[in-house]
Amino acid sequence: MIDKSVYGPWAVVAGGSEGVGAAFAEQLADAGINLVLIARTPGPLEETADRARARGVEVRTLPLDLLGPGAPATIREATDGLEVGLLVFNAGANSYGHEFVTGDLEKVQGVLDLNITAQLALTHHFGALMKERRRGGILLVGSLAGYLGQAHIGVYSAAKAFSRVFAEGLWLELREYDVHVLELVLGVTRTPAMERAGLRMDLPGLRVAEPDDVAREGLEHLADGPVHLAGGNGKTAERRSGFPRAELVLGAHEASRRLLPSST
């Protein structure tokens, strides 16, 4: 179980209403860590908060959009006076999947703002406080999509590649202050967002992870940064990091098309 004396007494979970974020919230509550949960949708957010409170911890909720101009300031104000020992950044689902050159550039910018700008703002704020206290943890939820470019979600893939490399650098900066940094790289995971997108998860040979399992794996390996591949996807990441790139990118593209509803 995660050590409250290292990562408590409070944790902030961005994207903490459902799926992997809710699993993080419940497992942290089981460890006796109080929570600040952030998500856009109030209903699921409060449901997750209630389940965490039933485990005996204090929970505060912030139903806000991280893309809002005042979101970082709101989060800072809401957590002033709290000793936050853990930041989990689980926000940043791929919410805009279209061809880049004919797509809406404003929506593309939103993908960058959520996956990069908001992540940097929260990591900068809470990371500085953890460095000063010389303890804590930062867990950034990444994706196998960040290991190669993909049609229609190329900007999302690039943002996830940024997050992974950023985590490696931040890990180097903070390790001497006993602040742990981990990029938890997920593969296909059975989340409500994936189910709403209609992705096929019944394909033969497809490795599908459950939210509880990947959250538990992330917390168990928080001190083993800078990067951990969840769900046994290490070999997949190795293959996607190889050469020649054209062959790898085309092969992954053909495989990913089978997941789409339109391919049924």
Q: For the segment 122-152, what is each residue's pLDDT rounded down to a tens digit?
A: 999 999 999 999 999 999 999 999 999 999 8
**Total domain count for the chain?**
1
Q: What is the side-by-side order of every strand in the sheet holding 84-89?
A: 59-63, 34-39, 10-14, 84-89, 136-143, 179-186, 227-229
Q: CATH no. for residue 186?
A: 3.40.50.720
- Report in angstroms the alpha-carbon separations of 79 from 20, 35, 54: 22, 10, 22
Residue-wise pLDDT for 157-172, tens only, equals 999 999 999 999 999 9
List the catalytic residue out of 7, 147, 156, 177.
Answer: 156
Tell me whether residue 156 is one of the annotated catalytic residues.
yes
| pTM > 0.85: yes or no | yes
Residue-wise pLDDT for 33-59, tens only, equals 999 999 999 999 999 999 999 999 999
Per DSSP, the three-state class of 71 is: helix
Range of the domain at 85: 4-263
pLDDT band at 198 (very low <50, low <70, confident <90, very high): low
pLDDT at 110 over 80: yes
